[in-house]
Structure 1
Amino acid sequence: MLMNFKFAHIADCHLDTYSRSNVLQNELNLSFSNAIESAIKNNVNFVLICGDLFNNASPTLSTLVFAIENLKKLKDRKIPVYAIAGSHDFMPSGHTILNVLNAADLTINAYNPVNEENAELNLIQHRDTNIYIGGIIGRIRGLDRQLYDQIKIRPKENAFNIFMFHNGIEEFKPKIMKNTEFLPLSCLPKGFNYYAAGHIHEFFETKINEGKSTLLFPGSPYPTNIGDFGQQNRNQYVLVEVRDNNIYTKRIRTYEHDFVVLNIEMKKAKINEIEAKLDNLVKNTDFSNKVVILKVKAKIEDGKAGDVNISEVEDKIMKRGALVVEKNLSGLTSGTILKTRFDKGSSAREIEERIAGENTGIVKIDGMDAEKEKKIILELINVLKISKKPGQTNAVYEDEFVASCRKIFDV
């Protein structure tokens, strides 16, 4: 039977990623809205969301409302959304925020194994068609691997079968993730027509099963970390059209504004050399209505990272029309940091006290002696050890963290 239909393949939206940046949060949300609006405009028959719709299992209320409002646009037009949880929006307890969306009839859970003793994935028939959809959830640290061994996954005969999953494939992993272990291709069930993937934040498409099937990672609708900005093959959803059982794919841009990445790498440099290079980059770049990512990597020979006047550079960029400046300065290091040696068998607390004691005074602060600085460093380490409680929202966790820090600094 020859079939003709269209669907949208979306993954790794990571809504709620930029809770501390209103501009980036708005841009991220807009990319998701754009994907939904584009899917509607292209008259898709259904939408696939292949994991990590949210950046965590407990998104803020405003983010949840935003997602509901956009998914409702699809529901109002009778466009079903088939979804699986990813490694970010799935709790170790087995719960996922997607349960709320499923209960509200805004999404359909494509991970639906039946018969606990001899588990088999129950494929969902799309309406009254010959299209069947099923999937396996993604879990942190590759814990979903065992599900592929435990659950029988069999396509329907004489039908168009779609398998959704949220994991990388070992044979096709990006070079930047060469040390990360993913699913071997042999783990995927055989006989499906389309393998709808998520988890890898860049576009990748290939044929498998002797060229009879398509496997595709769509990338993410918007960069979800600084490393994603400026990278090729990212930031879109994929429109899939099946014509006479042949599969055709088209990448659809979802983000609103372009990115500018300012990247400086110097093995060793003096502060004035770093600032001069930054100033030269800023003078010769147009930032109008753009998101700017500033990355600096260098070993400072005559000071510390805090001595580089990054705030002045940021001000210049904003005055030249940028929407926002996001900074990655983790590669900016100083030769003034002391190297500390430890005796074998030293406890964690002994190591912390030694490091704090030997590195005080590097940053001069009025009214603070070495003992007071050491005390503050150790108290901050204790605060940083506090993990988010199960079920605790990011907002509550962040408020408690800030309150603890304020108490340490008496502000």
Structure 2
Amino acid sequence: MEKDEIRRFDSFEAFEEICSLAKQKEVDFVLLGGDLFHENKPSRSTLVKTIEILRRYCLNDLPVKFQVVSDQTVNFPNRFGHVNYEDPHFNVGLPVFTIHGNHDDPAGVDNLSAIDILSACNLVNYFGKMDLGGSGVGQIAVHPVLVKKGTTTVALYGLGNIRDERLNRMFQTPHSVQWMRPESQEGLSVSDWFNILVLHQNRIKTNPKSAINEHFLPRFLDFVVWGHEHECLIDPQEVPGMGFHITQPGSSVATSLIDGEAKPKHVLLLEIKGNQYRPNKIPLMTVRPFEYAEVVLKDEADVDPNDQASVLEHLDKIVRNLIEKSSQPTASRSEAKLPLVRIKVDYSGFSTINPQRFGQKYVGKVANPQDILIFSKAAKKRQTTTGENIDESEKLRPEELNQQTIEALVAENNLKMEILPVDDLDIALHDFVSKDDKTAFYACLQRNLDETRKKLNSEAEKFKIEEEDIIVKVGECMQERVKEISLRSKGDTGLASSTQNLFLTC
């Protein structure tokens, strides 16, 4: 969202509101369930704004009223090896504990993430980072951060994101996941600890192998904070037969624009005394309103498949109703903001319309005029040899496509590239995957658009170009760039080869 001029500050406003609520309620600490950052390599601007918010609310002279009594070198395996408020060089009045998610997970030779930067700055306590040692699927030991305040003792377990398929296999492999219980202390038994787990994994069971079943978790837990899922299900739900409750806080801002994210956003204030807890959900006031609707065109009586005007009129009516609904004052909003509007349209039996052109009339009325509409078709089901019905959409799995190139996909599907050269897309794909360059495709698009505009402008000064000739000229520009790339690659063969080798050895 950083490149979105309307929504670029939404996540910072929500994060600052969360920190402000923590300060107002005088909480002992803040617990984050992962994905503090939406990008694996957040921009400098994002890092600076995040550090500013943490410094403003976390560094102060307020006393910290709890102790960490576990082995902190095991809990926080960084250079300093202790909870941040115990550092004599910092006044930390609001400790923040966080695990990593699937967006801000550690990577690279040194296995570092953006959370490690905040941890090195002594702004957060980063725990739950696992070293997947052992043979086969790997082996991990989950050590709790033991927190003590008065007579209340809390064992805080953290499990940062691990690829769901792998963690699923680990849970089903004996001794691959070991849960370390607190050692018995004088006047304190193992059963006296209130056990909390925070994890960041797929919970929705569209594919059981790519999700974590609640029944994989140990029964001694009392409370589970489940990250990753964007839908806010803040009210703790008991898992039958397991003895613990799960809260799913969801994302603080809408990012995916799916049905679940249209629900009101909350944070949970958890009060613990002994082995009892009391939840208190608090609505977030700064969140941008989001309205979602689904429509099946063939089920609408006033829509004619042969009359696109009737389709547009029907969709316009839905958008206007959603905008009006979002503008109604509610107690959970601090100020009026342009709403997010998303309509999922099942167009089976109909032709699609241009979403960008449709959204132009709503510029200044909604925050996302370019993608109000998303089109889909009812998934066809096919039977497997075992008789099981599977959606056609499940035939293509990511692991089956990971060796494909853009060039091969274009050739197989008999596509004709009109603006972007195939070689440029291949380079962008390589940079995106191998270098973790999140802006690779954006840069590729911008570079080609700029070159095309310059070429057309220079020719327009010499010759008169009719409107119908523009598409032809764009194609000619692309062909010229393809020839230039081909000549350049022949001249740079040695350099390209050595660079490729360097990347392969990293």
Q: Distance in 2 between matches of 1:376 and 1:116?
A: 44
Q: Which runs of 5+ in 2 are unaligned?
A: 63-92, 183-189, 299-304, 328-336, 378-404, 456-506
Amino acid at match of 2:58: L
Please point out which of 410, 419, 425 is paired with 1:352: 410
| TM-score (norm. length: structure 1) | 0.72
Distance apart, 1:229 and its partner CA? 6.8
Higher helix share: 2
Change (3 A) 1:98 1:381: closer
Percent identity of paired positions between Structure 1 and Structure 2: 15
Moved more, 206-215 or 128-137: 206-215
CA distances 1:31-85 after superposition (whole Å, capped 9, x unpaired): 1211111122112111111111111221111111222222221243522111111
Q: CA deviation at 1:269?
A: 5.4
SS in 2 for 1:256: coil
Deviation at 1:310, TM superposition (A): 0.8
Structure 2 counterpart of 1:199, one-letter code = H
Match of 2:340 in 1: 292
In 2, Cα distance between the equivalents of 1:283 and 1:307? 16
Gap change, CA 1:45 and 1:402, over 3 Å in 2:
same
Alpha-carbon distance between aligned partners in 1 of 2:355 and 2:5, rounded to the nearest angstrom: 28
Contact kept in structure 1, 2:288 and 2:340, CA below 8 Å: no
State how far apart, in whole Å, the 2-side matches of 1:31 and 1:202 are.
16
Distance 2:419 2:440 in 1: 26
Name the CA shift for 1:36/1:269 in 2 (closer, same or farther; >3 Å): farther
Give the alignment partner of residue 6 of structure 2, picking from 1, 13, 23.
23
1:67 aligned to which of 35, 45, 50: 50
Q: Report the Cα distance in structure 2 between the residues aligned to 1:307 and 1:133, rounded to whole angstroms.
A: 47
Name the amino acid aligned to 1:237. Answer: V
* 1:44–1:409 CA distance, 2 compared to 1 (3 A): same
Q: Alpha-carbon deviation of 1:109?
A: 2.1
Q: Is the 8 A contact 1:50 1:166 kept in 2?
A: yes
Instruction: Give the C-alpha shift of residue 86 in structure 1.
Output: 1.0
Q: Which structure has more RCO (C-alpha within 8 Å, separation ≥ 6)?
A: 1
How does 1:9-408 map onto structure 2 within 5 Å? 18-72=1-55, 73-76=57-60, 77=62, 78-93=93-108, 94-111=111-128, 120-126=141-147, 130-145=153-168, 149-156=175-182, 157=190, 158-169=192-203, 173=204, 177=206, 181-204=210-233, 205-208=236-239, 210=241, 212-228=243-259, 231-232=262-263, 235-254=265-284, 255-261=286-292, 263-267=294-298, 268=305, 270-282=307-319, 284=321, 285-286=323-324, 288=327, 289-295=337-343, 297=345, 299=347, 305-306=353-354, 309-315=357-363, 318=364, 321-325=365-369, 327-331=371-375, 349=407, 352-353=410-411, 355-356=413-414, 376=420, 378=422, 382=426, 385-388=429-432, 390=434, 392-395=436-439, 398-407=442-451
* SS at structure 2 position matched to 1:183: coil
**Structure 1 unaligned runs (5+)?**
1-17, 334-346, 361-372
- The residue type equivalent to 2:270 in the other structure is V
Distance 1:376 1:128 in 2: 61
Displacement of 1:390 in angstroms is 4.9
**Alignment match, 1:369:** none
Distance 1:312 1:139 in 2: 41
For 1:195, what is the secondary structure of its paired residue? strand
Deviations 1:149-169 (A, max 9, x none): 534213321222222211134
SS at match of 2:280: strand
Match of 1:95, SS state, is: coil
Letter in 2 for 1:162: I
In structure 1, give the amino acid aligned to 2:99.
Answer: I
For the aligned residue pairs, the C-alpha RMSD in angstroms reads 3.7
Over 3 Å counting, the alpha-carbon distance change for 1:236 and 1:309 in structure 2 is same
Please state how far the C-alpha of 1:246 moved relative to its aligned partner: 1.7
Give distance in 2, aligned partners of 1:115 and 1:309.
Answer: 49
> More strand per residue: 1 or 2?
1
Which residue identity is paired with 1:402? Answer: Q
Q: State the secondary structure of the residue aligned to 2:212.
A: coil
Q: CA deviation at 1:178?
A: 5.9
Q: Describe the SS at the equivalent of 1:297.
A: strand
Change (3 A) 1:229 1:92: same
Equivalent position amino acid for 1:136 in 2? L
Q: Give the secondary structure class of the aligned counterpart of 2:32.
A: strand
The range that moved more, 47-56 or 124-133, is 124-133
Letter of the 2:297 counterpart? M
Give the partner amino acid of 1:153. W
Alpha-carbon distance in 2 for matches of 1:49, 1:31: 13
After superposition, the Cα gap between the structure-2 partners of 1:356 and 1:250, relative to the gap in structure 1 and judged at 3 Å, is: same
Quick one: distance in 1 between partners of 2:178 and 2:34? 21
Task: Point out the more displaced range, 184-193 or 24-33.
Answer: 184-193
Residues 266 and 297 in structure 1, CA contact (< 8 A), matched pair in contact too: yes
Q: 2:129, 2:413 → 1: CA distance?
A: 51
Separation in 2 of the partners of 1:379 and 1:22? 31
CA contact (8 A) 2:219 2:242 kept: no
Encode CA deviations 1:321-359: one digit per residue, 9 max, x unaligned. Answer: 5455351444179xxxxxxxxxxxxx98576247456xx
Q: Distance in 2 between matches of 1:332 and 1:229?
A: 18
Q: Secondary structure at the match of 1:120?
A: strand
Structure 1 residue 198: Cα displacement: 0.7
For this pair of structures, how many residues does the alignment match? 357
Aligned pair in 2 of structure 1 residues 104, 322: CA closer, same or farther (>3 Å)?
A: same
Residues 20/113 of structure 1: CA separation in 2 closer, same or farther (3 Å cut) = closer
1:127-170 CA deviation, whole Å, 9 max, x = no partner? 6662222211113344344665534213321222222211134x
Equivalent pair of 2:296/2:347 in contact (CA under 8 Å): no
